Amino acid sequence: MNSKGTGITLALGIVAAFVGYILWQLTIGLDTKSDDITTILMNSSDGGTIISITSILIAVGLVVHAAGLLSTRGTASGTSETLGIICVVGGIVIWISGIGSSIALVEMGDKFVAAMGGGDTASAGTIGIAAGFTQASSVGSSTIGGLLAGIGWLFIGMAYRGSDAKGALSFIPLGLHAIVIGLILIVSNIIINSVVSVEAGSQVSGIAFILIVIWSVSRGLTLMNEK
């Protein structure tokens, strides 16, 4: 892939995934607790079409972004860059595998609402239990994926500190930027998730997601303009 193609995939992919992520959060509910299965099922049923579309947008966006990130290999010398990129791509694979849970919850949500509307509390309770396991699996996948991505961005940052690679925002060093991303993801998924709450950890991870978008767009624009 040439520099322009690398830049486009690196930037456009993560922007698409970020837009999908925001729409998904708004549909599920920004204040919805990760263990509030009833609300998750009802919101999933009400916004089933949007959730399905955003899930596809996130998955495709992350795959495109991963392709762009893989194409940047060789920017920095040493093994840290390669190890970092592999870890980030591994995290993306885990995130994408967890997206299926969101689509499954849409189907469960429709059946849950139908059962509740028909007064079939027994069936609704059974669906709720199954949804609880599905949601727990999704949270676990998100945590492992976030931790792996955090380690990856930390290694990428260490590699880029010894590189002369620049981004469109030249006043922000790419290496330091990536290190901050890595530290935020590691702290949020190991410490905040355990000590505070999964919701708080998710919010902090969201900050890292924004920083990843900024890093990728900044680096992508520079690559697009290279000859």
What is the model's pLDDT at position 62?
95
What is the model's pLDDT at position 227?
61
User: Which positions ≥6 away from 3 have C-beta within 8 Å?
Assistant: 223, 224, 226
What is the model's pLDDT at position 118?
80
What is the model's pLDDT at position 124?
81
Reported as half-sphere exposure (CB side, CA atoms, 13 A), residue 212 has a value of: 32
- Report the predicted TM-score, pTM, of the whole model to 2 decimal places: 0.91
pLDDT tens digits for range 181-199: 999 999 999 999 888 888 8
Mean predicted confidence (pLDDT) in 101-116: 84
Directed axis angle between helix 79-117 and helix 37-46, to 10°?
A: 90
Q: How far apart are CA 94 and CA 17, in angstroms?
A: 15
Mean predicted confidence (pLDDT) in 178-182: 96
Domain ranges for the chain: 3-224
Query: Following DSSP, what letter does each residue of 138-182 receive, concatenated?
Result: HHHHHHHHHHHHHHHHHHHHHHHTT-----SSTTS-HHHHHHHHH
